[in-house]
Amino acid sequence: MILISGATGTIGSRIMPILVSQGHAVRAMSRRPDAIPAIDGVDVVAADFDDPASLAAAVDGITALFLVTMYPSAEPKHDQAMLTAAAEAGVSRVVKLSAIGTGERLDAETTVGGWHLAAEQAVTTSGLSWTLLRPSTFASNLLTFASLIESGRPLPDPAGGARQGVIDPVDVAAVAAEALTGAGHAGRTYTLTGPESLSLDEQAEILRRVLERPISTVDLTLAEAREQLLAVGRSPAAADMALTGVAWVRRGHNAVVTDDVARVLGRPPTDFESWARANRAGFLGAA
């Protein structure tokens, strides 16, 4: 049986149907089990990274683990708690969802994805067979702008026009499923991107064609982006950590395209326009 932590999240929710369709036994874990998508054949369990007893129950009988924790509510200690429970239960394999750029330096004093790096180090020293996934920005992040598009307001661009290797989260989930079940992935770190590097303006132009409506963008300074994060409830520490990644992107460091998706899946990654057409309905009627 394979345990999916973060089963309500962008990637976890997409891994489960892939694994079930392949005939694997799946257990889904969340602090909010009622929010886990209902999928026939998926065992649902409530667990909390701060509750060791719940983690022990979640990993009982598990052979492989998909591990994801989300800042700011999660910390590297949560990854360590999950890994400890997994090792004690005899779990043999862990696939960790991290992020592109983890461990790179923004400057002499600042590391990109510091909390991801600490979590990765916990994974690679856990004694389990491990695979790290470092995806680029998700195409599905654009869906959070659906109401802006519907009302004709511009999309905010804190990246300042910088390009990114935008990826369909279904491709990330497919790579995760393969790493959880296939051979040859132990000790590998996969940097996952789409087939093209796009700015937000270029993504907006594609959405204009797909949605057949005008879409504009507006640049945000880092200070303005920080104020927006604080306004939606991020703590100052969480906002500053997020902006470290944004500053890294603004300097052009995420204008990266790799062939890792193709090498793992044996097919090219989904391009942004194909993703947009497949998700067109998600942008409509959002005002």
The beta strands (E) that lie in the chain are given as 2-4, 26-30, 42-46, 64-67, 93-97, 105-107, 110-111, 129-135, 155-157, 188-192, 217-219
Question: pLDDT tens across 54-76, in order?
Answer: 999 999 999 999 999 876 555 68
Global pTM exceeds 0.85: yes
Question: CB within 8 A of 75, min separation 6: which ones?
Answer: 69, 115
- What is the C-alpha separation between 23 and 115, in angstroms, rounded? 34
Question: pLDDT tens across 72-125, in order?
Answer: 555 688 999 999 999 999 999 999 999 999 999 988 888 898 889 999 999 999
Which residue positions in the chain have pLDDT lower than 50?
287
Amino acid at 135: P
